[in-house]
A and B are shown apart, each in its own frame.
Chain A
Amino acid sequence: MIKYLITILLFASNAHTVFSQKLTINGTVRDAANGELLVGATVQDSISQTVVQTNAYGFFSLEIPASRSSIKISFVGYTPQYIQDFTKHKFPLDIKLIPANFLKELTVKEVKNKEAPVGSLSIPMNKLKLMPALLGEVDVLKALSFTPGVSTGTEGSAGLYIRGGTPDQNLILLDEVPVYNVTHLGGFFSVFNPSSLKSVDLYKGAFPARYGGRLASVIDLAMKDGNNQKFGGEVGIGILNQNLALEGPIVKNKASFIVSGRVSTLGLSSLLRPKKSSGYGESRKYRFYDLNAKLNYQISKTDQIYLSLYNGFDRFMYSEWSANDGRETETSVGNNWGNTTATLRYSKIFSQRLFARFILLYSKYTSELTNSFEDNNPNTEHIRLYRNTNAGVADLGGKVQFDYFLSNRTNLKFGLDATRHSFSPFITKSNYSSPHDDTGKLKFPATQLDFYADASINITHNLRFNPGIRYSLYHVNNRTFSNPEPRLGLNWSLPANWSIKGGYAIMNQYVHLLTNNGFGFGYDAWVPSTDKVTPSRSSQLSIGLYKNLPQLGLDLSLEGYIKRMKNLIDYPDGTNFSGLLAASWDDIVIKNGVGRVKGIEVMLSRKSGRFNGWVSYTLSKSERKFSEINGAWWFPMKYDRRHLLAATANYGIGRKWTLSASFIYQTGHAVTLPEAAFITENSNGPRFIYDKRNNGRMPAFHRLDIGASKSVVTPRKRNAQLRLGVYNAYNRNNPLYLDIKTERNRDFVPTGITFKQVSFFPILPYIGYTLKF
């Protein structure tokens, strides 16, 4: 196999150069207005019509006939640029595209075109900001749930179930560093601030070999670099949070920064509430914040460094207090969780054909339950007792990746990722004297090393082949797991703008999430694979058919996939991971489960024009099997949704107004229904007999959101945007969870049982205002 690959690579790379004189040009493509690198811009040779795209760092390399070529550089939303007579230029080229319309969002990105692997897509950030959202909070992850193959759990939750996977099977990267907990407010919206993001890419089918470590998907988010031309920013006022973003040049054309942050309105309101000086009472405080910052410095035309930082936290505190005669006591319980990430990247263009990036990364997630008692007595010593139980994970690592452009027909990506994980599930710290509160005993270090190589080979003008291999090593507790992960992609362009894509990928996952079931605040613990709980593994085969209708501006895609998973874990019925689990989690969970998923996904999208948006439909089935659950028979996964229909549309009225609407329909999620009930003298009410897991369905979930945004120019000539709309426009009672209620008579004797659906979000209006300066 390897011998054949090498032969094909050599042939593809050398065949052209042997027979003709060629010139290799390279460079980066930026936005002229703000200096942002443009990812996915196309560079086309006028003679051969060969097209290449810029990579994640805006870099391209193209081989052209030396004497007579010109190239066209284009990107959706920008005026194309033509360059010829390359004798006058120095390489690498620094190409700046001028936005076609300054009134529109500047960083317009095309939904991935035919170059993208099967099962991948990008959401343009400008379209995302127009989508109506819960309480007006635009959310990247929720927007993804409107795309095919992606569904949500309960209403309001930001956890994504992608192609039959669970939220912990999604690798979510923010500027190349994994983010472990992605939700604020107990899951209602994600930690990613849209005003700091440049692009969002989702991979769920043929994963490029540079990605690994999760079974279901990769969500790759890139932060904006910051405007290197002029100082600016935006202030946003919303119902749930307030945000501020600032960006500007540090050295014009060379270095820039962007800082953006959000704070919760609920948190601000609790700060404004004065505490009473005497009496007693209780208080609940909730707040969150997140902060993104990025610096970049272009050392030379070939060298650039980037530093990205993210910090976000949620804090919930319930306390009972009393104050009397100068003595104050307070008993508090709380739940805090959050992430900190940092990425230092250095990109270098080594030659016309070789681009490299070197990355140092750090990611830390903590989730903590706190309990404290304070006694502030003027006559005695101040007493403060506390007990905090923490579940966390910290990663420190590095990545190296080389992009080698062998020829227009062939390019290679290869590199390695090395990460040192430190898992600390359920560590208790207390100022009680107790031998059991050993703070260091339960830390699990683990080391992960991944090597990969990905090739893109144009076998003919219309047929491209993407073989890849990733080899992962994972060392934990004196045990090393090693797994090869072959990847394969195929893109075949057909006449009349038809194309076919296919892909195959094997993925391994070495971490597992022990989570609160369903709905609640985030006391979740990440744990590594162990001797008892071996790494999960999936294999997926995808195929897609695509049609582009340029006259109408429409793209149509039809994708199908089958996926198999093994070594999955689940919980025994009624398991409560409440903090006392300690080191025994791998004895408690049910192991060695298998999964099977299949589905068909259709998407019709219109990316530009006054009326734009997309419609998607998914037909899928996701099942699990464990020897200790359901009598070892297959059962539907909890969020197995047979039908999923989503549509989102924007319609521009004049130059100021844009109307938006989103509709979603999902088959109801699976629930386990009791098959009989009984009462005994000891039970004080009915007890239920369950047999088959997930043997029932909740009613379907559907919702329409509508919104409008108005572009405003303030008296001081600043651009602003007013957003208003309605979430759940027809006030649908969507199921959040199933509750079984026992009715009783006046003597408290049980008389009947009813199954009730609990719903949470009624029709909710929203309003938001963003001022740009």
Chain B
Amino acid sequence: MKFVCFLLLLFVLGCKETNLDLNIPYSGDKLVLWGKLKAGAPARIQVTKTFNPAGAIPLDISVADAQVGLLINDKEYIELFSAPNEKGIYISDHVIQPGATYIVKVSAPMLPSAESAPVFIPSEVPDIKPLRIRNVPGEINHQTPQDLVDLYFPKKQTEAEKYFTLTFLSYYEKDTVSANPYGATDNIPAKEEDCHTWAYEKISAYRNDVAGITFDRFASIFLMKSTCLPGPNTPIKFYIETGKGSLDNPQWARKVTMRIEVVTKEAFDYAKIEYDQPEGVDHLVLPPQRALTNIKNGYGLIFASNEKVIEIP
């Protein structure tokens, strides 16, 4: 046994990292546009620029002297202005209109001008009928107090493919939350590789007084394609954590909410690439990802969304 331990130690010591000096074919700075056009909210776009992927990251990559505009339905043009306290952020009082199409156009000195592909703002959010069954035994690897939530989509999703996100939050006393749902075994969109993906989103921050550090609090987001949804009488099912502490005497959540959001395809594709998926095996080495972009002559993504939040009784 000692010999095996010695061998394992040898492997650990032998697993070494060495800096490499590789010849990187950097092609020069380009604009990077980033923003979510959220129906009913003011426009907000971040403008930065690319940099050489090897070596020190420039201290300031924001582009503060850009001209940023929104072309709405190919007719109206609105210019955004620099946010007073956020360098590289451009805002407007204009409220994003559901059902409209936007193009973001940006130019800046010494950088090639860039513009986004046309982005359509989803016009409506589907109705969902939730049914909550409390305190059910969970599945493998999820031995915490939890509820099963059945979601019915009463209206048959027969139109063109849409992308939905679902975010469940369980609120406890002192405003702590748990936000890590998972799909039941017979949740068809959650089982099909091509139908769903998981993402994480920062929802709040909290301070740990003992450690003296502020931590970000993240929620799991489930994204799915409308074409993968079952018929109106068949629910899709999620387990959500609604109790903390021991299984015998848990502290139950006082409120459970669900946000349903309709997003553009780019948001779904981005999440699929960006986030580790809870299913399956993470591989140590994957071929590199091509950066997903809908920006012409530049990089970044402009998404769109329309959302509503309901309380699950």
Q: Which residues of A are in contact with B by a Cβ distance under 8 Å?
A: 239, 265-266, 269, 272-273, 329, 331, 335, 369, 371-373, 385-387, 430, 432-437, 516-521, 523, 571, 573-576, 578-582, 584, 672-683, 686-692, 695-696, 698-699, 733, 737-741, 750-762, 764
Flag if B192 contacts A385 (CB, 8 Å). Answer: no
For residue B188, which residues in chain A have a CB less than 8 angstroms away from its CB? 436
For residue A386, which residues in chain B have a CB less than 8 angstroms away from its CB? 140
Contact (A689, B279) CB under 8 Å given A519-B285, A751-B56: no
> Of B120-128, B253-261, B286-294, B304-312, which stretch is located at the interface?
B286-294
For residue A582, which residues in chain B have a CB less than 8 angstroms away from its CB? 192-193
> Of B9-17, B154-162, B169-177, which stretch is located at the interface?
B9-17
**Hey, what's the 0/1 contact readout for B171-196 against A, CB within 8 Å counting as 1?**
00000000000000110100111100
Contact of B185 among A436, A523, A754 (CB under 8 A): A436
For residue A758, which residues in chain B have a CB less than 8 angstroms away from its CB? 15-17
Flag if B281 contacts A520 (CB, 8 Å). Answer: yes
Flag if B20 contacts A756 (CB, 8 Å). Answer: yes
Count how many chain B residues have C-beta atoms less than 8 Å from C-beta atoms of the other chain.
Answer: 65
B205 at the interface (CB under 8 A from A): no
Closest residue of B by beta carbon distance from A268: B4
Contact (A688, B288) CB under 8 Å given A579-B280, A582-B193, A756-B17: yes
Contact (A762, B13) CB under 8 Å given A580-B280, A753-B55: yes
Cα distance, A676 to B31, chains bound together (Å): 12
Cα distance, A265 to B285, chains bound together (Å): 28
Contact (A576, B277) CB under 8 Å given A517-B287, A678-B300: yes
Contact of A675 among B53, B143, B300 (CB under 8 A): B53
Contact (A762, B14) CB under 8 Å given A373-B141, A676-B52: yes
**Hey, what's the 0/1 contact readout for B137-172 against A, CB within 8 Å counting as 1?**
001110100000000000000000000000000000
Closest residue of A by beta carbon distance from B141: A331
Closest residue of B by beta carbon distance from A270: B4
CB of A631, distance to nearest CB on chain B (Å)? 11
Flag if A578 contacts B185 (CB, 8 Å). Answer: no
For residue B16, which residues in chain A have a CB less than 8 angstroms away from its CB? 733, 758-759, 762
Closest residue of A by beta carbon distance from B49: A678
Q: Give 12 CB contacts A-B under 8 Å.
A: A436-B188, A437-B185, A523-B281, A573-B290, A574-B287, A578-B279, A676-B27, A678-B299, A692-B25, A741-B17, A754-B54, A755-B22
Flag if A753 contacts B54 (CB, 8 Å). Answer: yes
Contacting A at CB under 8 A, from B79-96, are none
Contact (A574, B4) CB under 8 Å given A678-B32, A688-B53: no
Which 7 A-B pairs rank lowest in CB-CB distance, beginning with the nearest?
A578-B280, A518-B285, A762-B14, A677-B53, A680-B34, A676-B50, A580-B193
Cα distance, A576 to B285, chains bound together (Å): 10
CB of B48, distance to nearest CB on chain A (Å)? 6
Closest residue of A by beta carbon distance from B29: A676
For residue B203, which residues in chain A have a CB less than 8 angstroms away from its CB? none
Output the residue of A269, A681, A699 with the most chain B CB within 10 A: A681
Output the residue of B10, B23, B273, B283 with the most chain A CB within 10 A: B283
Cα distance, A760 to B32, chains bound together (Å): 38
Flag if B53 contacts A573 (CB, 8 Å). Answer: no
CB of A442, distance to nearest CB on chain B (Å)? 13
Flag if A764 contacts B10 (CB, 8 Å). Answer: yes
For residue B10, which residues in chain A have a CB less than 8 angstroms away from its CB? 762, 764
For residue B285, which residues in chain A have a CB less than 8 angstroms away from its CB? 517-520, 737
CB of B279, distance to nearest CB on chain A (Å)? 6
Contact (A751, B27) CB under 8 Å given A331-B140, A578-B281: no
Closest residue of B by beta carbon distance from A435: B186
Flag if B22 contacts A756 (CB, 8 Å). Answer: no
Cα distance, A586 to B72, chains bound together (Å): 40
Flag if A678 contacts B1 (CB, 8 Å). Answer: no
For residue B20, which residues in chain A have a CB less than 8 angstroms away from its CB? 698-699, 738, 755-757
B217 at the interface (CB under 8 A from A): no
B24 at the interface (CB under 8 A from A): yes
Flag if B56 contacts A677 (CB, 8 Å). Answer: no
Contact (A571, B57) CB under 8 Å given A680-B46, A756-B19: no
Contact (A520, B283) CB under 8 Å given A372-B140, A678-B32: yes
**Hey, what's the 0/1 contact readout for B61-104 against A, CB within 8 Å counting as 1?**
10000000000000000000000000000000000000000000
Flag if A436 contacts B53 (CB, 8 Å). Answer: no
CB of A270, distance to nearest CB on chain B (Å)? 9
Contact of A580 among B32, B185, B191, B273 (CB under 8 A): B191
Closest residue of B by beta carbon distance from A728: B14
Cα distance, A432 to B237, chains bound together (Å): 14
Closest residue of B by beta carbon distance from A682: B34
B41 at the interface (CB under 8 A from A): no
Flag if A690 contacts B46 (CB, 8 Å). Answer: no
For residue B191, which residues in chain A have a CB less than 8 angstroms away from its CB? 436, 580
CB of A374, distance to nearest CB on chain B (Å)? 10
CB of A558, distance to nearest CB on chain B (Å)? 33
B18 at the interface (CB under 8 A from A): yes
Flag if A432 contacts B139 (CB, 8 Å). Answer: yes
For residue A266, which residues in chain B have a CB less than 8 angstroms away from its CB? 4
CB of A149, distance to nearest CB on chain B (Å)? 25
CB of B293, distance to nearest CB on chain A (Å)? 8
B51 at the interface (CB under 8 A from A): yes
B210 at the interface (CB under 8 A from A): no
For residue A672, which residues in chain B have a CB less than 8 angstroms away from its CB? 287-288
Cα distance, A672 to B288, chains bound together (Å): 7
Flag if B53 contacts A759 (CB, 8 Å). Answer: no
Flag if B25 contacts A675 (CB, 8 Å). Answer: yes
Flag if A272 contacts B49 (CB, 8 Å). Answer: no
Cα distance, A571 to B287, chains bound together (Å): 9
Cα distance, A750 to B51, chains bound together (Å): 13
Contact (A690, B1) CB under 8 Å given A678-B50, A754-B54: no
Flag if B23 contacts A753 (CB, 8 Å). Answer: no
CB of A267, distance to nearest CB on chain B (Å)? 11
Contact of A385 among B46, B54, B139 (CB under 8 A): B139
Cα distance, A690 to B53, chains bound together (Å): 10
Cα distance, A758 to B280, chains bound together (Å): 24
B136 at the interface (CB under 8 A from A): no
Flag if A574 contacts B27 (CB, 8 Å). Answer: no
B284 at the interface (CB under 8 A from A): yes
For residue B286, which residues in chain A have a CB less than 8 angstroms away from its CB? 517-518, 574-576
Flag if B192 contacts A580 (CB, 8 Å). Answer: yes
Contact (A681, B46) CB under 8 Å given A272-B1, A756-B18: yes
B30 at the interface (CB under 8 A from A): yes
Contact (A754, B19) CB under 8 Å given A373-B141, A574-B287, A681-B34: yes
For residue B25, which residues in chain A have a CB less than 8 angstroms away from its CB? 673, 675, 692, 695
B133 at the interface (CB under 8 A from A): no
For residue B299, which residues in chain A have a CB less than 8 angstroms away from its CB? 676, 678, 689
Cα distance, A764 to B48, chains bound together (Å): 49
Flag if A573 contacts B287 (CB, 8 Å). Answer: yes
Flag if A579 contacts B140 (CB, 8 Å). Answer: no
Contact of A680 among B11, B19, B32, B51 (CB under 8 A): B32
For residue A683, which residues in chain B have a CB less than 8 angstroms away from its CB? 274
Cα distance, A499 to B17, chains bound together (Å): 49
Flag if B56 contacts A752 (CB, 8 Å). Answer: yes
Flag if A676 contacts B26 (CB, 8 Å). Answer: yes
Flag if A678 contacts B26 (CB, 8 Å). Answer: no
Closest residue of A by beta carbon distance from B188: A436
CB of A658, distance to nearest CB on chain B (Å)? 26
Cα distance, A304 to B279, chains bound together (Å): 52
Output the residue of B14, B50, B54, B193 with the most chain A CB within 10 A: B193
Cα distance, A269 to B5, chains bound together (Å): 10
For residue B291, which residues in chain A have a CB less than 8 angstroms away from its CB? 678, 687-690
B131 at the interface (CB under 8 A from A): no
Cα distance, A381 to B284, chains bound together (Å): 40
For residue A688, which residues in chain B have a CB less than 8 angstroms away from its CB? 53, 288-289, 291
Cα distance, A663 to B55, chains bound together (Å): 35
Flag if B22 contacts A764 (CB, 8 Å). Answer: no
Contact (A760, B14) CB under 8 Å given A573-B290, A574-B287, A584-B193: yes
